[in-house]
């Protein structure tokens, strides 16, 4: 058997990030040929990913890079909290921004599965324009993007992205609430006023419905940086065209 030097093992580990034992085994199988060892590890990563394909995702990270936000999933918080795993998530965001193919994305995910020992997958991504507000919470579990029609000051753009991350609005404005959603809300809230005097029920119900949707409509929410003002008041003549919020494990 070809003698495998420690320096050669370290070189392969630097290139792949996988364990010393995996690198040594790959080099032994390749009889010390670095290129063959890299091919062996790539093949092995695909086999490992396939075997772990039925495992449940229980964790992951939100990452933003190059005007793309992604959710990269794994099985445990232990892996999600690993800085190298978070770096892979940012790498995938950059690859997505550069129009990488599905095969290229899957190859990186398969390598991560081999490296971290858990099933991993890029679950979703969204691109956004320059000048948008973007924010990822410190624990990397929530991220948000707010896009605008026209220019908005950078600090306000980021503040609005932080607001979306914290408050999780469902609608941009009242006009976005469907008739079906309104009907369901009325049915649920009607139960809360059923014990009120009959002549007061309708007025109380209207108030509850207004309060319920005010908490969920972006433009009507109190701004987290200044709750005395609604988002509509804060942005003034500016126009928010779209907001997107990702939370790990959320649909």
Domain extents in the chain: 6-51, 59-167
Structure tokens at 188: 């649920």
The residue with tokens 């969204």 is 126
Nearest to 241 by CA among 93, 102, 128: 128
pLDDT value for 180:
82
pLDDT value for 50:
54
For residue 17, give the 3-state DSSP assignment. Answer: coil
Within 10 angstroms of residue 168's Cβ, the number of other Cβ atoms is: 16
Q: Please report which residue ranges of 117-167 form alpha helices under DSSP H.
A: 154-167
Topology at the third CATH level for domain 59-167: Tetrahydropterin Synthase; Chain A (3.30.479)
Question: What CATH homologous superfamily does 6-51 map to?
Answer: Ubiquitin-associated (UBA) domain (1.10.8.10)
pLDDT along the chain (251 residues), means of 10: 74 71 78 75 59 71 98 94 96 97 92 89 96 96 96 96 96 88 74 70 72 87 95 95 95 67
Q: Give the Cα separation of 76 and 63 in Å (integer).
A: 17
| β-strands 226-230, 68-74 pairing | unpaired
Q: Give the Cα separation of 198 and 112 in Å (integer).
A: 62
Our CA dihedral for 209, 212, 218, 219, rounded to 10 degrees, sits at 40
DSSP single-letter state for residue 171 = B
Q: How does DSSP assign 166-229, residue by residue?
A: HH--SBSSGGGS-HHHHHHHHHHHHGGGTTS-HHHHHHHHHHHHHHHHHTTBGGGSEETTEEEE
- Classify burial at 191, counting beta carbons within 10 Å of its beta carbon; exposed 0-12, middle 13-18, buried 19 or more: exposed
pLDDT value for 137:
95
The CA–CA distances, whole Å, from 219 to 128, 139, 232 equal: 20, 27, 5
Within 10 angstroms of residue 123's Cβ, the number of other Cβ atoms is: 14
């Amino acid at each position: 058997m070809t003698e495998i030097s420690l320096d050669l093992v370290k070189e392969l580990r630097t290139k792949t990030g996988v364990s010393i034992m995996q690198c040594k085994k790959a080099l032994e199988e390749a009889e010390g040929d670095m290129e063959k060892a890299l091919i062996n590890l790539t093949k092995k990563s695909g086999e490992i990913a396939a075997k772990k394909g039925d495992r449940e995702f229980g964790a992951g990270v939100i990452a933003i890079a190059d005007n793309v936000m992604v959710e990269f999933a794994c099985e445990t918080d232990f892996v999600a909290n690993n800085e190298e795993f978070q770096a892979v998530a940012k790498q995938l965001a950059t690859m997505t921004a550069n129009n990488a193919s599905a095969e290229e994305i899957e190859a990186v995910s398969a390598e991560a599965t081999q490296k971290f020992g858990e099933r991993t997958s890029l679950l979703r991504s969204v691109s956004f324009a320059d000048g948008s507000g973007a924010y990822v919470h410190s624990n990397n579990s929530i991220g948000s993007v707010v896009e605008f029609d026209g220019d908005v000051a950078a600090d306000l753009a980021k503040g609005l992205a932080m607001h979306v991350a914290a408050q999780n609005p469902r609608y941009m404005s009242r006009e976005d609430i469907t008739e079906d959603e309104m009907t369901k809300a009325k049915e649920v809230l009607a139960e809360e006023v059923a014990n009120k005097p009959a002549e007061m029920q309708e007025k109380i119900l209207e108030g509850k419905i207004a309060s319920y949707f005010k908490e969920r409509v972006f433009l009507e929410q109190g701004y987290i940086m200044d709750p005395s003002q609604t988002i509509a008041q804060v942005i003034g003549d500016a126009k928010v065209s779209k907001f997107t919020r990702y939370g790990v494990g959320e649909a």
